[in-house]
Amino acid sequence: MSHKNDFKAFSISDNANIVSQEKYEGNEGLLTGFPPNTISIDLLNKVLRQSSIISSVVADFIATQSSDNILDDGDIIKLTAQLNRALEQKITAEVPNASLTQKGIVQLADVVGNSDTLAVTQKLAREIINSLRENINDRVPNSRKVNGKTLSTDINLEAGDIGVYTKEEINNLINAVNNIPVGVPVPWPTVIPPAGWLQCNGAEFDKTAYPQLALAYPTGKLPDLRGEFIRGWDDSRGVDSGRIILSAQTDNTKRIQLSQGNERRKYLSNYQGPLDGYQYPLGRDVIGGATVTSIANNTGGYETRPRNIAFNYIVRAA
């Protein structure tokens, strides 16, 4: 149903007698108003057109939203009330209620419920929190104990009460590697040393970057322990005389003395050298005047060594 609107737009045809927008904006009358005697009709029509269009649009909005007739009867109070109703109708129709999936109008609630659209007031939220506190306090059985300690007061548990390591013990475990002096060769089971460690391969190192390592190896060069056994320093004991610390020693075989004889042929055989699978004549000091020629078939390698497992010797870089 169409509702009456008395507010009409003025001079809205294509050939209306109005001044251009450019001239209108440049006219000093925008600031001072019309002069007292002479009024340009096209300028006046422009002014009436702009004001009447806005009035007509607002009146049409009121009529559409409020379903009322908008009359030019000078009743400003009535027209204002109609405008307010139109705005309320517009908001109600186009702004939805708030939900979990969209924004909108929210209604407050002052009681606990299961609604997904009502909002909780501050007062209701505090009541809920206080209720939860009371329920929690009622649920704690202060007659029970934790490792012999009652629940009636604050409980202070030591590490031993619940079977865990103390902070000091944990720090000792974490920092155990720091207890190894810098420079001590450590056998490592992989090819790549862990972070912060260097391989004992005879390489030079930066004494400025690793001052503690430089105290152990002042030359700035690590010992080459690849394929080597580590031997204790003799220190004047007489077992391995003439050695200094970090001095290398080549492989060697202890002198072998062999003797053999019977009731008719007696001799003493002496030989020194590697047993590498070839035949060697035995030098001899014959006892009793007999002459004997002997050949020893010996099988061996190029070094004398114990059974062993290969590890990668590394030192801590610090």
Domain boundaries of the chain, sorted by first residue:
21-94, 107-139, 145-174, 256-297
- For the chain, percent of residues with pLDDT exceeding 90: 27
- Report, as an integer, the average pLDDT of 258-267: 50
In 3-state terms, what secondary structure has residue 241? Answer: coil
Burial class (CB in 10 A: 0-12, 13-18, 19+), 186: middle
Residue 172 has a pLDDT of 74
Across all residues in the chain, what is the average pLDDT?
Answer: 80
**Crossing angle for the helix pair 41-66 and 76-94, to the nearest 10 degrees:** 60
Q: pTM here?
A: 0.39
Q: pLDDT digits over 116-163, tens only?
A: 777 778 887 888 888 888 777 666 665 666 666 666 667 777 777 777
The percent of residues in the chain predicted with pLDDT above 70, rounded, is 76
Is pLDDT of 266 > 50? no
Q: Residues 11-18: what's their mean pLDDT?
A: 90
Give pLDDT tens digits for 202-223. 999 999 999 999 999 999 999 9
Higher pLDDT, 132 or 273: 132
Question: What whole-number distance in Å separates Cα of residue 66 and Cα of residue 81?
Answer: 10
Mean pLDDT on 46-74 = 88
Q: Are 316 and 196 in contact (CB under 8 A)?
A: yes
Q: Give the span between the Cα atoms of 209 and 222, in whole angstroms.
A: 14
pLDDT above 50: residue 268: no
Confidence grade of residue 280 (pLDDT, cut at 50, 70, 90): very low
* Whether 120 contacts 109, CB under 8 Å: yes
Least confident range of 21-25, 225-229, 314-318: 21-25
Name the residue with higher pLDDT: 291 or 128. Answer: 128
DSSP codes of every residue in 27-75:
-THHHH-S-SS---HHHHHHHHHHHHHHHHHHHHHHHHHH---B--SS-
d(CA 115, CA 109): 9
Query: Quick one: pLDDT at residue 39?
Result: 84
Q: How far is CA 138 from the centre of its chain?
A: 41
Question: Residue 177 — pLDDT band, cuts 50, 70, 90?
Answer: low
